[in-house]
Structure 1
Amino acid sequence: MIAYTKLFYNLVGPKLLILLVVMQAAAIVEGFGISLILPIIQGDSQSDSRLASVINWGFDLIKIDPNLTNTLIVLVIFFIVRGGLLIGQSWYQSQILSRNLTNMRVGFATSIANAEFSYVNKQDSGVLSNVMSVEIERVNHALSQLLSLMIAATTALVYIGIALLVAPVVTIFLAILIAPIAVIMIYLNRLTSRASLELTAGSNKQQSIFLEMLRNMKYLKATGRSIPVLGRVVKESQRVGTAYRKLTFLQGATAYGLEPFIVLVLAGVIYFFTEIRGGDVLEILFLLFVFRSAAVNLVATQPAYRKFLSADGSMRIYRDLRTNLEANRELGSSANLTPDFTSGISIENVSYTYEGQTAPSVDNVSLTIPAKSTVAFVGPSGSGKSTTANILASLLQPTAGDVRMGGSSYQDINIDNVRENVGYVTQESVVFNASLEENILLWQDSKVDKSRLDEVIAKTGLDKIQRSHSANTELGESGTSLSGGERQRLSIARELYWESELLILDEATSSVDSMLEKQIDDVISSQRGTKTIIVIAHRLSTVRDADVIFVFENGKIAESGSFDELVAAGGLFSDMAKLQSF
């Protein structure tokens, strides 16, 4: 409870304390107002209770006679003030909750964007998606329940204070009788926390499996194998339903089971002190009202606390993920050197080993890429080509060795400036559910150059799409309204528009037909000599005109040279070339 309260204080800040002060003020004003009921119902009867003494002292302080008229006027004033405080509290609370929900989602997305690529890449996308869309909302609901709990607890404490002033012995005796409820509450709280963890774990698993089913729906429907995968979704959904049922039952049992027990205890106490002890009936009846009001608020804390605990799993996974993301945050580049793409890039004895693997994916690789040249990385799958490209793009940091540009280490160069000048086209085209122009501009409308945008669209053959779609027509999730070739050309158009100094093409034409491959190659060829281009390909026809070809094998560079030189050398590249026709 304390740890999560600290979490919310870190999220909301001093606003939480301000709201608490307003809550306490409203509760105290309500307490003062309720206290005035006793002298009203007693009329001319005198009471020697502490409460009566406090009320008389208050009237003496403001120099008003405590007659019925004045007491009623003060009572009305107190409740008007209370109403104003509660309205202000409600408005301020809604502001806190709405802003907190926005800030948590923005903060979570920002933490992902700022984390190291290697860390984010190994996370379950279903878990991240579930946290962003579901768990964060549950965390915010937990904050709402925490505020409700604070309101109920504060009000209950005020009523208990009034009861202590009126009849301290009765109040203490009653507290002793109700104490066993705390034991029941602790047990129910533990059950709720367990059910919450089950619900969160099940929701994460359910989201992951469901996203996998959606991503692979084409294959599953074509092969008639969707039923077993759907069965996994059903199984996880049933687990989530079971955990949800537990939480719902625990909340209901608390809300409806405790109040009758408390009322029974109250009735017994009232009977004992009136019939057996012969106490003042009016004071006892007033105590009954005060005790019931305190009990109602105390009971109200339990459903709020239970709902708060029902988000235990959500709060825990959100807190842990944010902590891990921040722990794996990319260190901001403190270097001031500007990248010099006119001087070429070199890799010196670089190695890289993925977490959980023993053998390096890149093993002591050294190579030089002259500025504005076109080089190619070829070799069997898993030979280290893409890993090397990711190191050049500064997505991965080498576990050994160094990457240099113009004689300066990447560690001394502002990496953010390096990335701003890198274009990356992969086999999986990057297309957002937005318009054609938004996909190219990536919503940076302030930097739009309309004439150059139209030129790039025409050069990549996307003008047909531009003419057939309105300016705001969305292309569908991942560009489902486009063909595979159109998606690839869109990815290339984006990099051409932004005039990247370093263009990495990782299997950019592997999923298109030969005619479209030729069209894309022509577009790429038009950029040769204007930027540094790295082509990663299995189709050797794609790299025929490369200035230098680096052949990877088992994480090392087996050979390098021009296309004709490598074919003539009779090595691995020559063997690969014999298996392909040109």
Structure 2
Amino acid sequence: MRPFLKALGSLPRTVPALALTVVAGLGEGFGLALFLPLMERLTGGDSGIARSVPVVGPWLEALGLVSSPLVMIAMVLVAVSGSFALAWARDITILRAKFAFIAQRRTALLDALLHARWSHMARQSSGDTVNLLLTECHRAGNALASQISLLGTLFQILVYLALGVLMSWQLLLLSTALLILVAVVVRPLMRRTGLLGEASTTANQEYSHRLVDLLRGLRLIRVTAAEAMISARMASLADRVSHVFAEGEITTATAYFITQLLPVVVFAGLLAVATGGLGVDLPILLGMLLILSRLAPRLAQLQQQYQSCLINLAALVPLERLLTETLAAREDTGAGQREEFHRLVEGISFRAVTYRYEPEGAAVLDKIDLAIGRNQMVGIVGRSGAGKSTIIDLLAGLRSPTHGEILVDGRPLASLDMLSWRWRLGYVTQDLMLFNDTLRNNLLLGRNYPQQDIEDAIAAADLTEVISTLPDGLDTITGEGGIRLSGGQRQRVALARALLGKPDVLLLDEATSALDNESERTVLKAIEGLRDKLAVVIVAHRLSTVRKADVIYLLDRGVVAETGTYESLAAKGGQFSQLIGAADRGERGAP
């Protein structure tokens, strides 16, 4: 019950929907109440509407609106039809509110993720996030819509019970027994529904998580002939999801069957008792039976709505938790508050920079000092785990030093508007991100650049000839992950994208490690043509990539072990020359 009450009001337009519910319920109740004096008139009785409908009866008699059965029939028709129209408007309002909630939550969660600190984002599971955005948002919307519908149904039931009090309190006691009996019988089913709702959320999360991993590793699965094993594993997970949801639907159907059956049994018993022992007048009995005929399906509807709310409400918990945590982890970029960065004049320097992923964890970087001059090519090499990519993350402002500082033209990077700084960065990684979209849109990423800037970036990345061979030029669809392009072509697309906007600093994180030698030479040629136009920072897996760098920093266990040019480090006979030898021999662990 606590989660139910806590979620109340989360759906947009809750108040208008409840207001329509109240008015519709009162309208239907008024229409049904008029049946009693109408039947009295039709059967020859005349106890007066003031007694039959004590709340509004005197007003109707004073206004002369009950002078004939035809007038009363018209009033019943207007009241009941109006209540149905209001109920329809309420249902439309709830539906619109549900889908508005789904869209709002998806937008809010995605926006929060896009603006969260990188340390928070790095801990999120892509599969869980996709499941929350696609499935759990929809389930949460269904839960909240069912909640409002449930409250409306409950109000209508209360109206029916109030009419029962006006007609016959004895019959009302029997009706109340019906409610208690239904509640006692279906209570265990309700409890089971709540547990199945939580199980549904867990099963969906696991299936989505595994599915995203599968799609990412599809090439590996095919090459290693692991299709049968993976398919069997996913089938098992799919069966689990299917079983949990089927059990939830079966439980709902069982409760619905019981809720429909019991009113029929009590209905028949009530008719027998009323005619045999209570001596109830026929108009009152008919009116009471009319109310019970409306009450029985409402009870079944109430049960369905409550179970739907319970089984789907579990989705709201992880959804709201991730949204709350992600909003709390929002990155402070300093937009509009810190100094804007416009152009790199001198260069960048690391001053005793230390970085730890966890406050008490081992240092990934330990008191690093390095300099990156304007219009200079800097190489960063070292064995796996030396901290190379962490330097790129620090330069991009995705992470902040635990100790020490990074200076940009003598100013602390932390004192700059981070968005304006990132606008002046170009970034290329080993894991290229190309969308199943046109080549043009893959270059622009939703931003606007003059056509001349696009052409300049394409030329600088040595991509002009490639585009001329494509069937639709820049409007060619690249396919999922850029599958219609070769590895070298995809790398040059990524380079052209990084060069759009004429950045001051180009960050290359293992940008050529997955390329063959010829493709690497083509990309390196394009990069070398940029060295006099911007600062280039190359994190290299292949030492050949940094052969022409102005300065190379060799990292070892988070510290700068050696510094110099390729030739000076190779002649020194230290770790760098050992890495060259290991690379020549193809030894495992070489950079």
Q: What's the TM-score once normalised by structure 2's chain length?
A: 0.92
2:27, 2:285 → 1: CA distance? 23
Deviation track 1:380-430 (CA, whole Å, cap 9, x = no partner) reads: 001000011101111112222222222322332111211222221010112
Structure 2, unaligned runs of 5 or more: 586-591
**2:392 is the counterpart of 1:389:** yes
Q: Any residues of structure 2 matched to 1:410-425 within 5 Å, and which?
A: 410-425=413-428
Contact 1:160 1:291 survives alignment (8 Å): no
Structure 1, unaligned runs of 5 or more: none
What is residue 287 of structure 1 aligned with on the other side? 288
What is residue 501 of structure 1 aligned with on the other side? 504
Give the superposition deviation at 1:172: 3.3
What secondary structure does 2:354 align onto? strand
What is residue 301 of structure 2 aligned with on the other side? 300
What is residue 257 of structure 1 aligned with on the other side? 258
Deviation track 1:59-110 (CA, whole Å, cap 9, x = no partner) reads: 0354434421221222232234334423433433332223222212211211
What is residue 337 of structure 1 aligned with on the other side? 339
Aligned residue identity for 1:554: R
What secondary structure does 2:363 align onto? coil
What secondary structure does 2:159 align onto? helix
What is residue 130 of structure 1 aligned with on the other side? 131
Give the superposition deviation at 1:45: 1.4
What is residue 45 of structure 1 aligned with on the other side? 45
2:414, 2:508 → 1: CA distance? 24
Aligned residue identity for 1:450: Q
Give the superposition deviation at 1:192: 1.0
Contact 1:351 1:400 survives alignment (8 Å): yes
Give the superposition deviation at 1:332: 4.3
What secondary structure does 1:53 align onto? coil
1:68, 1:518 → 2: CA distance? 97
Taking a change above 3 Å as real, the CA distance of residues 55 and 512 of structure 1, as seen in their structure-2 partners, is same
1:211, 1:53 → 2: CA distance? 65
What is residue 440 of structure 1 aligned with on the other side? 443
Give the superposition deviation at 1:4: 5.0
**2:9 is the counterpart of 1:9:** yes
2:359, 2:246 → 1: CA distance? 38
Give the superposition deviation at 1:140: 1.8
Contact 1:159 1:290 survives alignment (8 Å): yes
1:342, 1:207 → 2: CA distance? 48
Contact 2:462 2:526 survives alignment (8 Å): no
Give the superposition deviation at 1:579: 3.2
Taking a change above 3 Å as real, the CA distance of residues 413 and 327 of structure 1, as seen in their structure-2 partners, is same
2:236, 2:359 → 1: CA distance? 30
What is residue 518 of structure 1 aligned with on the other side? 521
What is residue 33 of structure 1 aligned with on the other side? 31
What secondary structure does 2:345 align onto? helix
Moved more, 180-189 or 481-490: 180-189
Moved more, 233-242 or 98-107: 98-107
Give the superposition deviation at 1:56: 2.2
Contact 2:32 2:80 survives alignment (8 Å): no
Aligned residue identity for 1:389: I
Contact 1:209 1:232 survives alignment (8 Å): no
Aligned residue identity for 1:206: Y
Aligned residue identity for 2:356: T
1:180, 1:368 → 2: CA distance? 79
Taking a change above 3 Å as real, the CA distance of residues 375 and 435 of structure 1, as seen in their structure-2 partners, is same
1:401, 1:489 → 2: CA distance? 35
**2:369 is the counterpart of 1:366:** yes
1:277, 1:80 → 2: CA distance? 33
Taking a change above 3 Å as real, the CA distance of residues 270 and 323 of structure 1, as seen in their structure-2 partners, is same
1:408, 1:534 → 2: CA distance? 19
Q: Any residues of structure 2 matched to 1:17-416 within 5 Å, and which?
A: 17-43=15-41, 44-47=44-47, 51-60=52-61, 62-333=63-334, 335-339=337-341, 341-355=344-358, 358-416=361-419
Give the superposition deviation at 1:6: 4.6
Contact 2:460 2:530 survives alignment (8 Å): no
1:264, 1:87 → 2: CA distance? 30
What is residue 543 of structure 1 aligned with on the other side? 546
Contact 2:65 2:72 survives alignment (8 Å): no
2:206, 2:90 → 1: CA distance? 39
Q: What's the TM-score once normalised by structure 1's chain length?
A: 0.94
1:434, 1:416 → 2: CA distance? 26
Give the superposition deviation at 1:543: 0.7
Moved more, 538-547 or 95-104: 95-104
What secondary structure does 1:305 align onto? helix
Contact 1:59 1:66 survives alignment (8 Å): no
Give the superposition deviation at 1:184: 3.5
2:332, 2:241 → 1: CA distance? 38
Give the superposition deviation at 1:271: 2.2
Aligned residue identity for 1:364: K
1:207, 1:567 → 2: CA distance? 49
Moved more, 533-542 or 403-412: 403-412
Give the superposition deviation at 1:146: 2.1
Q: Any residues of structure 2 matched to 1:546-565 within 5 Å, and which?
A: 546-565=549-568
Moved more, 61-70 or 435-444: 61-70
**2:532 is the counterpart of 1:529:** yes
Matched positions, count: 578
Aligned residue identity for 2:59: G
What is residue 452 of structure 1 aligned with on the other side? 453
Contact 2:178 2:262 survives alignment (8 Å): no
What secondary structure does 1:54 align onto? coil
What secondary structure does 2:375 align onto? coil
2:37, 2:53 → 1: CA distance? 7
Moved more, 308-317 or 553-562: 308-317
Moved more, 225-234 or 513-522: 225-234
1:183, 1:473 → 2: CA distance? 65
Moved more, 536-545 or 40-49: 40-49
Moved more, 49-58 or 158-167: 49-58
